[in-house]
Each structure stands twice: as C-alpha cells, then as structure tokens.
Structure 1
C-alpha cells in the first residue's frame, strides 16, 4: 500500500498532462459515473487529502468519511454538485477550473443556436429521407437580431464575442460582471426578456435562480424566442419550456443540460421537434479535457501547499479545520 497522500478522482481518468503533476500522490479513481454511495465508500477506504470532481458530487457524508480531506477541486466550472456549506464548516477549500472549458462550451452554445435558427437537424433528416425542401423552407437570419446572455463570465463573454462577430446585438445580465467589452450591453432581466430574440444561459445554478426560465419569464419574452442552455438544467422549468415550445412562444430550444442527468427515459422532450438536445457535452473536447484536468490538479496542489499537506495517507494534515 502506498504511503503517498491520496487524491480521489470521481471518474475513470485524468489527462496524462494533469496526472504527471501528481507524481508525489497516489491517484485513485471511482470509475465512470459513480454514485454518492460509491464516492463515500472510496473516501472512507482511502482517506484522500483532495477530491477532484469529474462526475457526481461531494456531500457532507463524503467529507466526514475522509478526515484528511483539505480540498475539493471541480474538473470544470460548476460547483453546484458540491456541498459548499458543509465544506466551509469543515475548513475544506472548494475550487473550480474557471475558464478552462470556456471555448468548448461557448462553441456548443453557438452550435445549438445555429441549429435552432437554421433547422440543421430537421433538414438533415428530411434530406436523408429523400426530400428537397428548398421551395418551402424559410430559415431565420441571426445577423441584426438580439441575443440575451444570462451570465457574463468566461463562457458568456466568449459566446458574446462570437455573436458580435456574426452581427448580432449582444445584451447581458450578470450582477457580478465588471469592465464589459463594448460589444456587450448590460441590462436588467426585465429588459433581457423583453428585447432578446434568443436567450443563452451561462450562469451557475444557485438557490436564487433555480427555475429562472419558467412560465412567467417565458411569457414576457418575444414570441418565437430561441432558448439555449449549456449551463445547468435546473435553471429551466422543463414542463414550462415544453408548453412554450408547443404554443409557439418559443421557436426552438437547444439544450445541453437537464434537471436530472443522465436524462431520464422517457422524457417530456423526447420526440418533440422543437428541441435540439445534446448530453451535457459542451465542455467535452480533447482540448478542454486537458485544460480542465490541469486546472483542477493545479488548484488542488495549490491548496495542499498552502495548508502544509505533505503527510502520508491517514496522517493528520498540519492545517486545522475551521
């Protein structure tokens, strides 16, 4: 059994470039798509000093199972699957690989927006079925139209730059954003709902914004608005969105995240032509895989160095919990 401090990864692998930085640690993997019970059991068995979160999350029970734990590092930007209150109570740092997958997710959001506006998926299927719809199809031109972004962090601003390059007017809401570029106009949510021809979500999920897209907010939008979500599924009231698509209030919805993941089957969106769906893979590219792995490991090591954790597995770290 190794005497090195353990890093537990809630997944089956890390990028080789990231793994190389952990040569002084024992790296233990939970395997693909672990359950909370799996993670608790692994934490109890290995007492890690750090957990790198790829899939599932980390709750208070996991933290209690690992007395040596000092840092929980997200392999990505969203930390909503980590109990941050419980971590703070135990003096455990929570970090995120902010911006590491910005390009990948922003490109996915743009792909979904274009697919919705240009009927890419539907026309592809019609062509394969032997149809030629040139005389009857009318697409939507995005140039000159307004896109409203909820969240203006690294991903939102990357998407904003691409939308601006396409000739779109970009408005956005983010109470924490500062020094926005000239091509982004800050607005309140009421203005965003009222003026946007397309809405793209790029914010973290919090108790305050859960169900942000709901029957009331959708009713305040322009008829025929496009909704894109590459952030978190909980930002959208899914039955309300389905009703809005069926009524025509929402022209199309392009979604990469869902309230329950993996997406339940059957699901209310299945078989609905007004939805373009992808399995939360916006940040899953070969480049983002490396970037997120490196950022997650560097964040982990920085916290461990700051807290003086150089002890072997099972030893008590020098930093006291708050």
Structure 2
C-alpha cells in the first residue's frame, strides 16, 4: 500500500484537498498529513515525507533540488494545481522521480471572477461600497453596460473559451489573440495583439507564462489602449510591467485595472497597486471555490489510482524519466504498459 504525504497546511487542507478526496485516497493508501502547520521546502520537506512513496504538493510548496536528492523513497511528486513553476523538474528527472500536474478545473471559477471584475469596473460597485463604509457619499457618476462592448481575451485556453461564452451571452463582441490555432465560433475573431489592445474595451490577460510573454503588457501595450479601457490580469504577475501600469493609471491613459495576481508572495497583487482607488484587486482567489478545488483534488486522486494500476498519468511532465516507478512496478508482468514511455 502506498504512503502519501500531503504538503497542505491545516489551514489550506479543508479547501484545497477536501474531505471527499482524502477519504477516497484512504481507501487505497495511507495518508500522512503535514504535521508542522508550516509550508515546507527542501530538506525539511524531505524529512517530513520520509518513508512516503508519493508527495501531493499544494501550490505554495516549492519542491527543489535539495528535496529530490534527499527524499530517496519518493517515487512521484504530484502537484495539486496546474502551475509547476516551483517544482525543479530537471532535478526530479535527474533523480528518476515522476512529476505530474492537475488539470484546470477552475475555468468556470476564474472566468466568473473576470466577469465580476468587468461589472465592478463598469459600474464602480466597490468604489461606492468603500465610500459608504468610510461615511462618505459616493459620486454616482455614469456607468457602462457590458452589452455592445468589446471583450479582448489574450490567451484562448480553457479559461478564455469559457469567458468568451459568458461575454457573448451578455451581448459583448469578443476578440481573442493567441498564436496557437484554435477553432473559433463564427462570431469570435483571432486578431493580432496590437489590434486587440487597441480596440477592446475590456482586455483580459489569460496568457501562459513563458519567456515570450514575460512583460507583454508594458508601456507600449498600455499606450495602445483606449482611455476608457479596463485592463484585467488573471494570468501571472510577470506578464505585466507593474511600473508601466501604475504610470498609465496615474496619467489617466486607461480607466482602471483589476488583478487577481501580481508580484507579491504566492502570485498575489502588489500592495502598492492593489491599494489604489482605480484598481480592483483580489488575493489570488480565481480558483478558490469548492467546485474548482475539489475538482483538482479528485483529479489527483485519479492519477494516484492510475499509478496504482501501473500506468503513468497523462498529465505527467517527465514520464520517460520515472525510473524509480519503473524499477518498482514496471516489470514484464505489468498489466498495462501503454503509458510507461
């Protein structure tokens, strides 16, 4: 029977790896819960996971080279999230450890948050709430309706496609920019980046973080936007030049911004930007709903069951390097070897 170490702290465990997922794992494995109450890393993480076959790592837990060289019992590190940027995959590969990731079960949650940002930005809801709570009478001003406006989506993955559906349902014109060929609905156009930022009323950044997208929203991109445009970042903080964003907000070159990510700890918005009256900020909560969290946790459970069945999950990122698993399980009598290479 596998022994599985869950890195989640007691505070994060109920939401990020909820009881149903743990109960399902306990039917097949022995669970070891992080006993420290702290986010572990390196040798401390290896020590806590000693004697465990698998490690299920939450998003905050970095898994570095020192872990992989010390944790000689571990066969696989399974990220209960899509982002594996804080896992040293090269070190895992060098030590024969499999690395897997979960799937984006949070597409609906994140796209709904984007919609909330757009409505708030268009109608000044949070500004009015803040004024009333401070004992002030807010300026009613003139809001905007979303119907008839242009929604520009930068990055047309699963979240972008879900957001496009919501935008079209509200009567918005939807344009996207994405270098990969995607099947497009008849009323959605894939346009160049400059066209999108120059013509959209709401620009939503959903692009993946790659060397090519680093800082893609900088002074030049912001200079192309309409003065009444709203910029929303739901991707990664490093895609945005925060100094340039602050400058265009100071100059009134765009109407406002919203962000669920940024350069602060755990990809949260930077306090300097988040505290502005023309910025709507949330602390990286896009996927923080029970449905999204349980979906990711249950997907990790399904991956564990695949490994128990001597299969390498489809979401493995270094399947050919999983020599520890191969040495333990992948013998000539393996019931299924279709995913072992």
Is TM-score (shorter-chain normalized) higher than 0.5? yes
Structure 1 residue 222 displacement after superposition? 2.3
- Mark the CA change 1:44 to 1:76 in structure 2 (over 3 Å): closer, same or farther: closer
> Could you tell me how far apart the structure 2 residues matched to 1:319 and 1:237 are?
47
Structure 1 residue 121 displacement after superposition? 0.7
- Mark the CA change 1:19 to 1:266 in structure 2 (over 3 Å): closer, same or farther: closer
8 Å Cα contact 2:176-2:191 kept in structure 1: yes
Query: What residue number does 2:258 align with?
Result: 254
Structure 1 residue 115 displacement after superposition? 1.3
8 Å Cα contact 2:264-2:270 kept in structure 1: no
Is residue 16 of structure 1 aligned with residue 19 of structure 2? Answer: yes
How many residues are aligned here? 314
8 Å Cα contact 1:47-1:65 kept in structure 2: no
After alignment, is 243-252 or 61-70 more displaced? Answer: 61-70
Query: What residue number does 1:131 align with?
Result: 137
8 Å Cα contact 1:49-1:71 kept in structure 2: yes
- Mark the CA change 1:307 to 1:315 in structure 2 (over 3 Å): closer, same or farther: closer
> Could you tell me how far apart the structure 2 residues matched to 1:72 and 1:288 are?
21
> Could you tell me how far apart the structure 2 residues matched to 1:263 and 1:283 are?
13
Structure 1 residue 269 displacement after superposition? 1.4
1:87-118 deviation per Cα after TM superposition (whole angstroms, max 9, x unaligned)? 44445443333231111111111111211121
After alignment, is 153-162 or 11-20 more displaced? Answer: 11-20
TM-score normalized by structure 2?
0.80
1:274-306 deviation per Cα after TM superposition (whole angstroms, max 9, x unaligned)? 111111011111211211110122134324534
8 Å Cα contact 2:53-2:74 kept in structure 1: yes
Return the match for 2:276 from 272, 275, 284.
272
> Could you tell me how far apart the structure 1 residues matched to 2:266 and 2:190 are?
34
- Mark the CA change 1:279 to 1:132 in structure 2 (over 3 Å): closer, same or farther: closer
Structure 1 residue 245 displacement after superposition? 1.2
Is residue 317 of structure 1 aligned with residue 328 of structure 2? Answer: yes
Query: What residue number does 2:317 align with?
Result: none
Q: Structure 2 stretches of 5 or more lacking a match?
A: 313-324, 332-339
> Could you tell me how far apart the structure 1 residues matched to 2:181 and 2:305 are?
28
TM-score normalized by structure 1?
0.85
> Could you tell me how far apart the structure 2 residues matched to 1:219 and 1:39 are?
47
Q: Structure 1 stretches of 5 or more lacking a match?
A: 309-313
After alignment, is 101-110 or 36-45 more displaced? Answer: 36-45
Q: Larger relative contact order (C-alpha < 8 A, sep ≥ 6)?
A: 1
> Could you tell me how far apart the structure 2 residues matched to 1:306 and 1:179 are?
35
8 Å Cα contact 1:43-1:65 kept in structure 2: no
Is residue 210 of structure 1 aligned with residue 222 of structure 2? Answer: no
- Mark the CA change 1:200 to 1:316 in structure 2 (over 3 Å): closer, same or farther: same
For 2:309, what is the secondary structure of its paired residue?
helix
- Mark the CA change 1:86 to 1:116 in structure 2 (over 3 Å): closer, same or farther: farther
1:141-189 deviation per Cα after TM superposition (whole angstroms, max 9, x unaligned)? 2221211112211111111111111111111122235223334311221
Query: What residue number does 2:87 align with?
Result: 82
